[in-house]
Chain A
Amino acid sequence: MAPTGEIDLASAPKLREGLEQAEQSVNSGLVVDLRNVTFIDSTGIGELVGCHRRSRERGVPLAFIVPEGTIRKILSVTGMDSVFDLHDAEPSAIRAVVGNADASRSGDSN
């Protein structure tokens, strides 16, 4: 799942649609790649929070790829950097999701 461009009040509904589609198509884990997002505001953060909540409810591991920069700063300002599983690059994000999925299956997460 890799949204692109600017996420604001106008484009947030499209982001939610994309996230929900991605969530429904996976059971083992989801990586949301925000590297090509150039702008995000509180509305977009709210959609990411919704995705985070739904994934937790379903027990599906979720990780975000967010390198240092504007997007990471907004996540930090809103305190979401300590809630979301953030990674600088793809390999570590995938490892985190796969590792958590394995842990869930074997019951290690309980």
Chain B
Amino acid sequence: MMKAIDNSVTILVPAKPEHVAVLRAAAGVVASRLEFSLDDIDDLRILIDEAASVLLSSGATGQLRCFLLAEGDAVSFRLSGELPNGQRPHGEGFAWSILKALAHSVSSESVGGEQVISVRRNKGPVLDPTV
């Protein structure tokens, strides 16, 4: 199911690996609307994929809900899913390394029994905080 309001899109997909490609495609479309470069679009597709991978590999069940917002020079998304017994998503590994490296901001929180990963990606590369 996909619902678009102005510059935002909400997508519900089954919490299954084969549906992550739908989220990547939607993120790509939203980013291209803001005239993101191909590199930035690639980054956004990877970011949404990794957020979904974190939730799915943590055992998300039911559906994943993704709210994508294009605003100014940034695309933000909030991806939420229900984990068994209200557990927290895995907080380490390659997926988080990629999320932290390619997003301008990334956070994870628990909201009403769901785990939510929020990511913002601006146009242009992410500056290395160690430089």
User: Measuring CB to CB, which residues of chain A are less than 8 angstroms from any residue of chain B?
Assistant: 6, 8-10, 39, 41-43, 45-46, 70, 73-74, 77-79
Q: Which residue of B lies closest to A77 (CB)?
A: B101
Q: Using CB atoms, name the residue of chain B closest to A80.
A: B94
Among the listed stretches B15-23, B66-74, B80-88, B110-118, which one makes contact with chain A, having 4 or more residues with CB under 8 Å of it? B15-23
Residues of A within 8 A of B93 (CB): 42
- Whether A9 and B94, one on each chain, are in contact in the complex, defined by CB atoms closer than 8 angstroms, is no
Provide the residues of chain A in CB contact with B102, threshold 8 Å. 77
Nearest to A43 among chain B residues (CB) is: B53
Q: Which one of B17, B97, B101 lies within 8 Å of A8 (CB-CB)?
A: B17
Q: Which of A6, A39, A46, A74 has the most CB of B within 10 A?
A: A74
Q: Which residues of B contact A6 (CB under 8 A)?
A: 21
Decide if A42 touches B45 in the complex (CB within 8 Å). no
- Tell me the complex Cα distance, A15–B79, Å: 26
B45: chain A residues within 8 A (beta carbon): 39
> Could you count the A-B residue pairs with CB atoms below 8 Å apart for me: how many are there?
54
| Residues A10 and B50 in contact, CB atoms below 8 Å apart | no
B94 touches A45 (CB 8 A): yes
Residues 1-44 of B contacting A (Cβ, < 8 Å): 16-18, 20-21, 24, 39, 42
- Pair B101/A41 contact, Cβ less than 8 Å: no
A10 to B49, CA, bound (A): 11
Contact residues in B for A77 (Cβ distance below 8 Å): 97-98, 101-102
B46 touches A10 (CB 8 A): no
> Taking the nearest CB of chain B, how far is it from the CB of A58, in angstroms?
24
